Amino acid sequence: MENRIYDEKNGLWYAKQGGYYLPELVLPPEEEKPTGIWGQRHLQYLKEHKKLVYLNLLTSGRLNEYLSSVDEQAEDMFFRLVKEYADRQRVTEQLKAENQLLWVQKMNNIRMCVREIVEREILYL
């Protein structure tokens, strides 16, 4: 018997594994897009809490595109909110020149608050 056969009915190749013929399944090709920290965090969330969504995206070949989109949305929201919060709290370049330590303290506080908002609104739905 052959180690590899083709079934014309379903168009699949089968490979012999320990006396059984198993289909040789391959995921569809996926365009590689860069995924930043937000996309990586969302991927970890999907793997741990939304396994079915993760598997559906993976097997359909859309996982990378989806994570790239989530990453882009989160990044845009993060920078927009940081700017808005800094303007609202009057954290300016003038404050940075006058009191660097206070400026760093306020900016770190703003970034942490905004990070929580982005995670809640986009990453961990």
pLDDT digits (tens, 9 = 90+) for 82-111: 999 999 999 999 999 999 999 999 999 999
As a whole number of angstroms, the distance between CA 37 and CA 123 comes to: 11
What is the pLDDT, as a whole number, of residue 24? 86
Could you tell me which of 67, 84, 75 has the C-alpha nearest to residue 33?
A: 67
| Domains in the chain: boundaries | 1-30, 35-123
Model confidence, pTM: 0.76
What is the pLDDT, as a whole number, of residue 28? 66
pLDDT digits (tens, 9 = 90+) for 11-41: 888 998 888 888 888 766 777 888 999 999 9
User: Where on the phi/psi map is residue 19: left (φ > 0), alpha (ψ -120 to 50), or beta?
Assistant: left
For the residues 41-47, what does the mean pLDDT come to? 97
Percent of the chain whose pLDDT exceeds 70: 97
Summary mean pLDDT of the chain = 92
What is the pLDDT, as a whole number, of residue 117? 97
As a whole number of angstroms, the distance between CA 14 and CA 76 comes to: 46
